[in-house]
Amino acid sequence: MTEPTAVDAVTASFARMETVRAGADGLNCVLWSDRERALAQARAVDARAERAPLAGYPVAVKDNIATLELPTTCASRILEGYVSPYEATVVSRLRAAGSVVVCKTNCDEFAMGSSNENSAYGPVRNPVDCTRVPGGSSGGSAAAVAAGIVRIALGSETGGSVRQPAAFCGVVGVKPTYGRVSRFGLVAFASSLDQVGVVGRTVDDAALGTEVIAGRDPYDSTSADRPVPRYCDAASQPMRGVTVGRPAEYFPPSLDPRVAALCDRALDALRAQGAQVRDISLPHTDLAIPVYYIVAPAEASSNLARFDGVRYGLRVTGDDGLRAMYERTRSRGFGPEVTRRILLGTYVLSAGYYDAYYKKAQEVRACITDDFRRAFASGVDVIFTPTTPSPAFELGAKSDPYEMYLSDIFTCTGNLAGVPAISIPIGRVGGLPVGGQLITRHFDEVGMFAAAYALENALGDEAHR
């Protein structure tokens, strides 16, 4: 039997892309694509004598990660039509590994959102149920994987923006350790939290994608100079002797009992694989949302100051001076959620409020990090939690910003602490996917993937029903 070529795979990817775009209920997960360019790259891959790790893999890239040919707009009007003069390191590494970038995916504007309803190009729909959100901000990437357009997609994480949509769409989402993957070419939102993450159809897809993009990058001074293990080899690691922590704060009485039951089943599956499960406490968890929504908007206020209509992107001109041009450009270019966060961030950084808000938030952030450090120092190898408090909600269901922000309550702690985490499917509630989250100590992606492989194998088809 002839092995499928890269051209075959890319052709199939574009065919599937057209199918899910069609009709009033199209997913709207793809913003930019170039079929002929992608096919030309696929033919070049097929012509290579040496087989690369991702040879022939079509991949999707979130629209806030720079690519040379396709636009990088961050799903915002202020960057409409912008094409980067350089490429993100993670994209270059995917290409070097033989993959073909077939599309840029829709996202919440500048990665600010938990539902993918904040895009200037319209909301993304969940492939499992098109009346539901796919999660955000990497909802387009998660939807592209769940819909079968690609097996691997890049997203970005600031407070759970890969893991939460992966959970909502029933796929795998990885947030590596802060510093494990280069941020060069990722449009900055909150620099001390931002990371590039991977969405995969399976744990193996996610492990392979993460392995390819990981490693030191001279263009990113925050990237760590540490060897990158073969993450796919973690599939053979046994769970016997591994201690799994179950933090009480992630299983409050208010948690949907059906989600809690699926989590209990997942923990039983890990026990059956030989792991020990014990209760632990991460006492500062309830402070994570207020800390995150001080730190992230503050850093966003600084990072997004560069979008002013002078150097690139949208410019709304007039005859009333430079300041008025700034105001018109930013008012018309930024959507309401981005504007809200810029205003909030500017406020907490302003004179007289910095110490009371931003500095205090950083102090509490250190306490959250210490919670994880103490848990791992106590003998816990892996922490298990639900990824989200509930399955995907309906489009338009959450008009209150604070209610929307609570969607990240179980994920933003990982970004604040910089630890690696993965979401994998553990079952369904009312036909909608539910994700379970595995967290390990800094730079222990091998242990994280080992537990994820074990849980995926133990649950089998039950993870998707």
The string of pLDDT tens digits covering residues 274-308 is 999 999 999 999 999 999 999 999 999 999 999 99
Domains defined for the chain, CATH in brackets: 6-234 (3.90.1300.10)
Predicted model pTM = 0.96
Residue 254: closest CA among 382, 386, 146, 379:
386
Mean pLDDT of 133-162: 98
- In sequence order, which ranges of 127-256 are alpha helices (DSSP H)? 139-146, 163-169, 203-213
Q: What residues contact 271, with CB distance under 8 A and at least 6 apart?
A: 277
Residue 340 pLDDT: 96
- Rounded CA gap, 86 and 205, in Å? 27
- Rounded CA gap, 445 and 224, in Å? 14
Residue 313 has pLDDT above 90, yes or no: no
What does DSSP assign to residue 180? T
Q: Give the catalytic positions in this structure.
A: 62, 137, 161
- Rounded CA gap, 58 and 97, in Å? 11
Residue 202: closest CA among 178, 232, 160:
232
Residue 417 has pLDDT above 90, yes or no: yes
Cβ count within 10 A of residue 317:
10
Mean pLDDT of 410-427: 98
Burial class of residue 188 in the structure, from the number of CB atoms within 10 Å of its CB (0-12 exposed, 13-18 middle, 19+ buried): middle
Residue 150: closest CA among 15, 2, 313, 277:
15
Q: How confident is the model at residue 99 (pLDDT cuts 50, 70, 90)?
A: very high
Backbone angles phi, psi at 32, to 5 degrees: -135, 140
Mean pLDDT of 142-163: 98
